């Protein structure tokens, strides 16, 4: 959206858009190249191995009966961290060799584990799918979802969990080109219209 807005503003100011080095059709052609197909096949092996066996379904406590068909109505709770808390989290990330995202993901896994009583959590995380700088100015859908599987078992320290989350996240990012939709089709996951 930022790129689209930037281009609209340039056009509005009667400026000429710079020519694109590549187009979306070039990206599509690249995706179907032999080299890319082989890469996807290798990434598929990673994801199939990652989700072999039983896949957990998150069972959060609810105060109502789960509907037969998924319903997206709900509420949200907004909050802000103060500068002090933000700085502490950033310093923790730096001291552990993590990104702030990885620290927050580890904490989110702990929250979900505590609420659900489960010790295996899968969290979907979007990636922009623009691994090459040439793709940045292109308008188009490149987004993919990474299914991050972590084990926030109670006996682990938070530092141990953060190290595992880092390892899992880095491996998933390395294999981010494999389409999430293909993974869902390939693994033994029970479909439920209420989820």
What's the pLDDT band for 110 if we cut at 50, 70, 90?
very high
What's the pLDDT band for 157 if we cut at 50, 70, 90?
very high
* DSSP 3-state of 11: helix
What's the pLDDT band for 192 if we cut at 50, 70, 90?
confident
Write down the pLDDT at residue 48. Answer: 95
* In the chain, % of residues over pLDDT 90: 56
Q: What is the mean pLDDT of residues 140-161?
A: 91
Pair 59, 122: CB distance under 8 Å: no
Residues 21-49: pLDDT tens digits? 777 777 777 777 777 788 899 999 999 99
Tokens of 171: 């491996």
Higher pLDDT, 76 or 192: 76
The counts of H helices and E strands in the chain are: 7, 2
Flag the least confident range among 39-53, 61-75, 113-127: 61-75
Total-model pTM: 0.82
* DSSP 3-state of 70: coil
Higher pLDDT, 82 or 62: 82
Q: What is the mean pLDDT of residues 123-149?
A: 85
Tokens of 188: 């033994």
Residues 75-90: pLDDT tens digits? 889 999 999 999 999 9
């Amino acid at each position: 959206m930022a790129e689209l807005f930037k281009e609209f503003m340039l056009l509005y100011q009667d400026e000429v858009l710079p020519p694109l080095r590549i187009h979306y059709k070039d990206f599509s052609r690249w995706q179907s190249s032999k080299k890319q197909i082989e890469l996807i096949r290798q990434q598929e092996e990673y994801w199939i191995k990652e989700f072999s066996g039983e896949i957990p379904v998150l069972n959060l406590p609810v105060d109502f009966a789960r509907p037969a068909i998924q319903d997206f109505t709900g509420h949200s709770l907004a909050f802000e961290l103060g500068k002090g808390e933000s700085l502490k989290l950033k310093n923790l990330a730096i001291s552990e060799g993590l990104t702030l995202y990885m620290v927050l993901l580890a904490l989110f896994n702990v929250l979900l584990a505590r609420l659900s009583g489960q010790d295996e959590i899968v969290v979907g995380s979007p990636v922009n799918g623009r691994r090459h700088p040439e793709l940045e100015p292109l308008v188009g859908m490149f987004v993919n979802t990474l299914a991050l599987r972590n084990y926030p078992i109670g006996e682990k320290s938070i530092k141990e969990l953060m190290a595992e989350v880092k390892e899992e996240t880095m491996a998933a990012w390395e294999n981010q080109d494999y389409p999430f939709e293909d993974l869902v089709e390939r693994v033994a996951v029970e479909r439920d219209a209420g989820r």
